Structure formats: structure tokens, C-alpha cells
Structure 1
Amino acid sequence: MEKVQLIRDRLKTAHSGQKSYADVRRRELEFQVNNWVFLKVSPMKKVMRFGNKGKLSPRYVGYFKILKRVGKVAHESELPAELVAVYPVFHISLLKKCVGDPVSIVPLENVVVKNSFTFEDVPVEILDC
């Protein structure tokens, strides 16, 4: 009987340790209708969404207005005409709350989405030869 209790205690200790590690990375997110959010561009590594340019590629684009909540963890966003090929319902983990910093916003007129969900960078100006 003591061995069973010892195993249960060890399991509880291991469980609480793993839970504390997991809770550090967990974000409590909740968005309301009419909130402004950024959309994560490439949710998975090695998957080309809007082009794979390394660490200087845009992580988020937007900002977009949330139209309605679909289920517990999905939200429907108002997307512009340039992103008509993208389904407008996103998981909550792909959204980031917009706090109104216009410096971090990637303008949508610079992002042209093709049918293969890729885009091409075009230089704006040559600074030096």
C-alpha cells in the first residue's frame, strides 16, 4: 500500500512541475467583436505562406477588425479585397491584439498575394551603387 501512495505522490509532483512549465508559455487571449488584430503570416515553420525570407520577413500583417466569434477559439475577421483567397476565420493563436502602434504595421498595398499564397518583394529605391 505504501508503494502505491509513493507512486501517486511522485506522479503528482511530476504533473505539477510539467504544469508550471506549460503555464509559463500559455497566453490567456480573448478578443471582442470590433477589436483590431494583427494576423500571423506564417504560423508554421517550413511552410511558405507569404514567402520565406528568413528572420526579417514580416511576422504579422494587418490590422483587421473582428466581425464575429465562431466557437470558443475561432474568430472571423474582415479581410480586404487583396486577401480574398484567404478564408476569413482564424484560430485565436494566429491573432495578436493591435495596440495602435502604426510603425509595426506592414501596409497591405505592398503585399500582393498570388494564388499560391506567395508574394514577391520589389525594391522601392536604390540607395547606393
Structure 2
Amino acid sequence: MKFGKKGKLAPRFIGPFEILEKVGAVTYRLALSPSLSEVHNVFHVSMLRKYHPNPSHVLQWEPLELRIDMSFKETPIQILYHQVRQLRSKAVPLVKVLWRYHDLEEATWEHKEEMKAMYPNLFYP
């Protein structure tokens, strides 16, 4: 299930959740966990992603720490790569950040100076 966005083209998914019923032509009602009881349980098909079962796949679901306004704070786990993107007149230092509750494929490129200011513990002294 898609649960908001952070930046361009950075989908965020949580789940899997069981589909209880088809409500309309393109909407489904899901069986959400009790921690998501404040979230409306009917979703458009574009917000869902198909789960491909694999007998050897064990799901490890981490509950999200939701605030009262049904949002949560993204926290980075580690810096994966450093890169300097060369533009015409300047160089832009970037870092690839792995975020909590997300897979390696969902890591994002962020400005190094902004990340260093917000999360100095991720950088070596």
C-alpha cells in the first residue's frame, strides 16, 4: 500500500494487507492493522502494489510510529554512497541515504550539506 511521498518519484509502501472486498471499479477495502485504525481503509488501485508470494519469503513487518496527525518522521539509517555531480558552473556534493522502513531500492540522493546539518551522526568526524 502506498503511504505518502518524500521527494520526486520516491514511493513509500507499507504492508502487505489483505483485500477484504472490491468496493468500486478501481477501489478496494483493506484489512489494516490496529495501529492504522485512524486511516480510511478504502484505497484506489493506483495506491496498491501486487504481492508475489514466495514460499521461502518471510515477511518482517515493522509497525510505523505514527503521530496524532497520521504522519511519521523519516529517519536515515546510513549513508550508502558519496558523489559529486558536476554541473556547468558548480559541483554539487550528494549522498545516497538509506531510510528506515525502506528497502535498498528506495534509497534517495540528498544534498550532502543538508544531511550533514540535520544528521551529523551519519558522517565520520
- For normalisation by structure 1, the TM-score amounts to 0.48
- For normalisation by structure 2, the TM-score amounts to 0.49
Structure in which a larger fraction of residues adopt strand: 2
Larger relative contact order (CA 8 Å, sep ≥ 6): 1
Structure in which a larger fraction of residues adopt helix: 1
